[in-house]
Structure 1
């Protein structure tokens, strides 16, 4: 069969699959958001992120009909592989981790564009081969010179890879084609290193062609924060200091560090999660309505919030860091952080962090935002809880409202994605007895469309040049400005507080909220 016939067949199959596609065109849902001619180069393609997330996401996009027939995938890693070996690795990853059904015709079309380049990041010959491979794919597959370079590598290699791309002419494509850099977190270790890295990257790629991945921003429920607030008149009038008592943002994990000792030790939970994920969730929760949902408008409003964030005056009373000790998790005895393989027994790296922040603007003045994250906690959950003030006057006796708490709106980011509203209701019977009840919205029960995996959405946005869901360098640097003073304080004030695995963190975190007359939610 000719190449033209193959292309027509692939296009027809993609159009038929688009009927059930959840990543439709925002302007006209009848039109797919299909990437144009393009390719993707993944550095560090043998790592877990690539194997479990990136390669399956590429296949799922192709299976949904959102990649062009000539899409090309290039792997770069320190392996003695041929192109066929790489295709086999991708095949195995797709079969194990993809979210859409395996279709042989889709796989064959995708596999035709797979190439592998062996080498290390400072190997000039490897980058010469990479350039030749990219140019060859451009001719054979019709990529029009458009390539994104995904740096799925440890942060210490970011400068090397970016400079090699520049040195070997890979950062600039022919004619009006585009070249983009995709960078995983952590983006720097503090403000200084983030600024240095931004300078290096921007010397090679224009700022609008640099995509910093925060996979939380690709989650459907995170984007639903904006829909919840700005598409509904019932919430926005009470989304302010006059009605909100406080906000809790939680990302809890029930696992330990696993095999990530080399990455995690010396970084810790605050740098790993608060600096990026939780501060982004805070910004989306607290921001004003943007003039539109394009990248510039969203960044403008998020930056206003981040610039208004104020640290507590007493970091000792309003920040807590912890480190998990041995305990029970899921019915099994687990070791503490210091007993994990590869961890220095004298390590002071935090596996739990909780901080109190305030946003000094007209909407939020005086409303505390409590952020917490940790490993080996009671269960895996990420949520945003907007807790409202109590009613100023209650005609009910204390005995009638003994169990009544604060009204709350809880956005569940993961798992069991959805929204819960807690409010007081009369208990059936002759007496006026009030009790807390909940109304629940669950994505899986309310929509027939399946939610795309975060990396599907983000990879497609990279190929389309849509930067709405990617933090800009100003946001990254401002987030480090917020976290750096806390990290500096912790570094000079003893060790993290221990907490037993399977609990909800150190008692010091409970005491932090108790001083304000509040308590943590139990998700």
Structure 2
């Protein structure tokens, strides 16, 4: 059965969306991403009947494991993190397709064995030469692995009707130059349509609902422009610190880790024009138009903010500051909080600032998009009647309480004309009986089906770095000149005073999620 992405044809939600004969080769099987997200998602897809009976999973790592040892690792991951219930019959069928290949990324013998293993699976499991290579490894190793795949004939399908695909995780480089180098490495081995860059936020139901809400309803689009919108706030807040990720995080920072990918993708979906269809090319064209229209303010010192969390209280416990975390240098200038102001130079959005912020050790974990509207040009009420009234706002909650909130003014019961803000709330959990699949379920299935609308292409990645690079360079110059360093904010609060001042200069304030 040919699968059509539900964004293109909602009727397909009623049909089984089953991948054809195929397998997945997973590099980096010992990492948290594989254990907590990828392996459980594969089981959940199998449990929902969306994988073929002969699906195979090959693990590749520097471990002295046999096939059964790898199967036990997957079993433990599924038991701990799978979304759906554990069913023995599903597990047994899935586990029959597990194989493990030990070796390093520069080990020719190991990649020869990987090729033989895949050929054996094509015969034993009927995978028909269709395999996706999932690189759940640091980007510095991408070149080694894809080079080995090319050298050992693994990047070429087993026949004219078979396919080979590669899946890479963010970060897609650390600046524009490195992103271009990474894209060149991948494009040298795989055609562009076979390269899938995973941004798991694009797999979330509520992110996709931005498109549904905008273009399936007539009430929003007429006011989705500079005539009515005052500004837009996009927030991704985390209540946890860096944990054990000091080696990765120090030198990367909040802007590279979140703004360059997640938040700029969200901004593109909010700001894009209506596509001619929801296929990959049409969506990509409209998102690229938004990213290529972004203009940075001239005074980056006044329109950006960065900071590091200091010690404080989180979850009722005393927590250390960023510079006290194990593995972090005391002289580190890596930011754990970043906020930027962006302008989109189009007729629809001229004069509407987009405020993007992200941070660790903030008040609570939340991701949301807030469309804040202008105040009514004339209000026939006394000032005292509306003193508690703020702007209307449409808030799209991405996580954890998925839904939409509309804030508007309403009269307080009583004889006096007093108007206050009220909220009209839509929650996914209260409106739909079926639970939303995890983002990785949707994205992995789309990889196996060869359906790319939810995956950013290299043009989007490079445009995103063009936006972020000048900001990072500005901060680096401040550090080098000794003119500035990251501010600090107490853990458990909502960020530094410099971020509040950034909006206050425009007469605005951050929303308190």
Contact 1:323 1:497 in 2 (8 A): yes
Q: In the alignment, does 2:85 pair up with 1:108?
A: no
Shift >6 Å, 4+ stretches? 22-25
Match of 1:182 in 2: 167
1:98 to 58, 82, 87: 82
Displacement of 1:411 in angstroms is: 0.2
Instruction: Please give the per-residue CA displacement for 1:186-232, whole angstroms capped at 9, x wherever unaligned.
Output: 00010000001101100100001000000000000000000000000
SS in 2 for 1:492: helix
Displacement of 1:29 in angstroms is: 3.6
1:513 to 500, 503, 512: 503
Contact 1:325 1:336 in 2 (8 A): yes
Distance 1:60 1:407 in 2: 40
Distance 1:321 1:307 in 2: 24
Contact 1:191 1:484 in 2 (8 A): yes
SS in 1 for 2:145: helix
Q: In the alignment, does 2:106 pair up with 1:122?
A: yes
Contact 1:56 1:94 in 2 (8 A): yes
Distance 1:71 1:24 in 2: 26
Instruction: Please give the per-residue CA displacement for 1:469-519, whole angstroms capped at 9, x wherever unaligned.
Output: 000000000000000000000011121111111111110000000000000
SS in 1 for 2:100: strand
Q: In the alignment, does 2:438 pair up with 1:453?
A: yes
2:390 to 399, 405, 409: 405
Cα distance change of structure 1 residues 466 and 340 upon mapping to structure 2, 3 Å threshold: same
TM (norm. structure 1) is: 0.95
Contact 1:24 1:32 in 2 (8 A): no
1:244-255 matches, cutoff 5 A = 244-255=229-240
Distance 2:319 2:414 in 1: 48
Distance 2:154 2:455 in 1: 23
1:324-343 matches, cutoff 5 A = 324-343=309-328
Displacement of 1:26 in angstroms is: 4.2
SS in 1 for 2:469: helix
2:486 to 488, 496, 504: 496
Distance 2:296 2:107 in 1: 45
Displacement of 1:155 in angstroms is: 1.1
Structure 2 unaligned segments of length 5 or more: list them.
Answer: 1-5, 479-483
Match of 1:6 in 2: none
Number of corresponding residues:
502
Contact 2:7 2:278 in 1 (8 A): no
SS in 1 for 2:422: strand
2:42 to 51, 58, 74: 58
Distance 1:372 1:173 in 2: 43
Match of 2:424 in 1: 439
SS in 2 for 1:425: strand
Structure 1 unaligned segments of length 5 or more: list them.
Answer: 1-21
Q: In the alignment, does 2:326 pair up with 1:360?
A: no
Contact 2:309 2:489 in 1 (8 A): yes
Q: More displaced, 224-233 or 491-500?
A: 491-500
Instruction: Please give the per-residue CA displacement for 1:26-76, whole angstroms capped at 9, x wherever unaligned.
Output: 443442110000000000011000000000000000000000000000001
Contact 1:424 1:434 in 2 (8 A): yes
Contact 1:23 1:452 in 2 (8 A): no
Contact 1:24 1:30 in 2 (8 A): no
1:369-408 matches, cutoff 5 A = 369-408=354-393
Instruction: Please give the per-residue CA displacement for 1:86-125, whole angstroms capped at 9, x wherever unaligned.
Output: 0011011111111111111100000000000111111111
